[in-house]
Amino acid sequence: MATQVTVSCGTKNYTLRVRDGVRLQVADANHVQKAVDLPGAIRAALDAPIASPRVESIVRAGNTVCIICDDITRRTPVREILAELLPRLHGAGVSVADILIVVALGSHRKMTDAEMRAKLGQDVLAAYTVRQSEFRDLDKLAQAGTSPLGTPIRVFKEALAADVRIGLGTIAPHGCMGWSGGAKILYPGITSEDIVSELHAMQGLADGILFGMAECPVRHAVERWTAQIGLDFIVNTILTEDMDVYRVVAGHFVKAHRAGIGHALDVCGGAVDAAPDVVLVSSKPLETDFWQCGKALYGSAAVARPGGSLILLAPCHEGIGPHPEIVAYSGMPDGVAALGKRLNAGGTGEDLLVMAVGVSMGKINAAFHTAIVSDGLTREELAPGGYEWFPEASLQAALDLALDRYANPSLLVLTAGGETVPFIPGAA
């Protein structure tokens, strides 16, 4: 008899039949218990930092301190962290006037007043100097070295001028740097737009899949620069599948970050017995558009057999998203060479970023047969990328067609591929 597997797409659930003879593996989201006492978890991390003195031993009276946090697009509980962190700084003699809080925008839009209140709290906004980083206005940026590709690294001046820098963020799988968190809050968090785009270009030029890679070459480059500039302390959270806090780590920007990855794998890691011929992946919890949902293909490609088939089930309520040209870039037969040529010619800005992400996805297209199952997209929209398209009602047909390509097929189902890092234990 066939085995049944249920996957979700947005608000819809689909029950699929997997015929006899198919070697089936299912990697569900890991259900971990959220921290019962969030303030207590933050205090415990600050009391026992990893490879670092306590933050109150790092600062002293008269120091200027810059606290850098992520923006509203991330779910880091910044307000709650500040409630525990700021009293320690004041207890060590740092005055309110000597503390600057910078929201790292990367290349995102400015946050609204309401979003700032939600992220930081009205009391903090009223008492402290708070800035949002700048990525285009060169008058607000200062050069601090050059990137591995030779581009000037320009950083938000006010953050660079501080005696002590503290980064707040969350550790989650990331397509370019392996994992978010750690040094990423500085680079590209508060750097210029050309550095943001170049960082993604490094992803496009890199060999292999960087998503979920702990010792990612792009991250190593970022950390070498950060070691020269200085990130004196971090506080990073790890979230459950429901975006509640699971664990908190604090301390050295590299060693605490790597310890945090270990906790993140409790949530996101999915052990796979062997490389499957076919991966069916739901983009859950990513839903908005292809620009976002396509990230679920990275983890799938990291474990699939070369020449295998990937099936992405994704709502994409807003279609391709803000960068429709990503599809054409993902279909370029010479994408890596074209990206390198663009960089050598001094290309930068938003289009370079889109090209880099598209080329990264194009490398997956070149290695696998890729189908997109979505009611939010059309066959015509996806055709430039060489993707096969199915409506959601034809998900079973898409699966059967993929399995029919192989004599003795194996299938991996990722029910929450947008946040799952599948891995084969013992594989290099």
pLDDT (tens digit per residue) in 38-49 = 999 999 999 999
Answer yes or no: is pLDDT of 404 > 60.
yes
Per-residue pLDDT averaged across 52-65, rounded?
97
Would you say residue 382 lies in a domain? Answer: yes
- Predicted model pTM: 0.87
Please name which of 350, 326, 291, 418 lies closest in space to residue 108, comparing C-alpha atoms. 350
Per-residue pLDDT averaged across 300-311, rounded?
95
Measured CA to CA, the distance from residue 236 to residue 239 in angstroms comes to: 10
Would you say residue 82 lies in a domain? Answer: yes
353 and 286 share a domain? Answer: yes
Tell which of 210, 244, 267 closes a domain.
267
State residue 72's pLDDT score.
83
Measured CA to CA, the distance from residue 168 to residue 156 in angstroms comes to: 16
Would you say residue 17 lies in a domain? Answer: yes
289 and 319 share a domain? Answer: yes
The answer to whether 85 touches 103, Cβ cutoff 8 Å, is no
Beta-sheet strand order (sheet of 65-70): 129-132, 99-104, 65-70, 164-170, 233-239, 245-251
State residue 1's pLDDT score.
62
* Least confident stretch, 29-33, 176-180, 327-331, 371-375: 29-33
Provide the number of structural domains found in the chain.
2
Answer yes or no: is pLDDT of 428 > 60.
no
Measured CA to CA, the distance from residue 125 to residue 123 in angstroms comes to: 6
How does residue 333 score in pLDDT terms, banded at 50, 70 and 90?
confident
Q: What percent of the chain has pLDDT over 70?
A: 99
Would you say residue 428 lies in a domain? Answer: no
195 and 291 share a domain? Answer: no
| Omega of the bond leading into 409 within 30 degrees of 0 (cis) | no
94, 99, 104, 147, 240 from 237: Cα distances, Å: 25, 22, 16, 28, 10
The answer to whether 282 touches 8, Cβ cutoff 8 Å, is yes
Q: Residue 411 CB: number of other CB atoms within 10 A?
A: 25
Tens-digit pLDDT profile for residues 225-274: 999 999 999 999 999 988 899 999 999 999 999 999 999 999 999 889 89
Answer yes or no: is pLDDT of 427 > 70.
no
297 and 185 share a domain? Answer: no
End-to-end CA distance of the chain: 36
Tell which of 242, 267, 292 closes a domain.
267
Identify the residue whose tokens are 């997109």. 372
16 and 133 share a domain? Answer: no
State residue 296's pLDDT score.
92
Q: Residue 425 CB: number of other CB atoms within 10 A?
A: 7
106 and 238 share a domain? Answer: yes
Domain residue limits at 139: 38-267
How does residue 414 score in pLDDT terms, banded at 50, 70 and 90?
very high
18 and 122 share a domain? Answer: no
Answer yes or no: is pLDDT of 371 > 70.
yes
234 and 98 share a domain? Answer: yes
8, 201, 210, 321, 358 from 291: Cα distances, Å: 19, 16, 17, 6, 9
The answer to whether 133 touches 190, Cβ cutoff 8 Å, is yes
106 or 13, which is more confident: 13
State residue 285's pLDDT score.
84
- Per DSSP, the three-state class of 1 is coil
Average pLDDT in the chain:
92
Answer yes or no: is pLDDT of 353 > 60.
yes
Would you say residue 23 lies in a domain? Answer: yes
175 and 210 share a domain? Answer: yes
How does residue 374 score in pLDDT terms, banded at 50, 70 and 90?
very high
8 and 58 share a domain? Answer: no
Tens-digit pLDDT profile for residues 279-304: 999 999 888 899 889 989 999 999 99
260 and 282 share a domain? Answer: no
Identify the residue whose tokens are 């088939």. 309
91 and 178 share a domain? Answer: yes
The answer to whether 43 touches 36, Cβ cutoff 8 Å, is no
Per-residue pLDDT averaged across 114-126, rounded?
95
Counting beta carbons within 10 angstroms of the beta carbon of residue 265, is it exposed (0 to 12), middle (13 to 18) or buried (19 or more)?
A: buried
Tell which of 211, 245, 267 closes a domain.
267
The answer to whether 187 touches 226, Cβ cutoff 8 Å, is yes
Per-residue pLDDT averaged across 142-166, rounded?
90
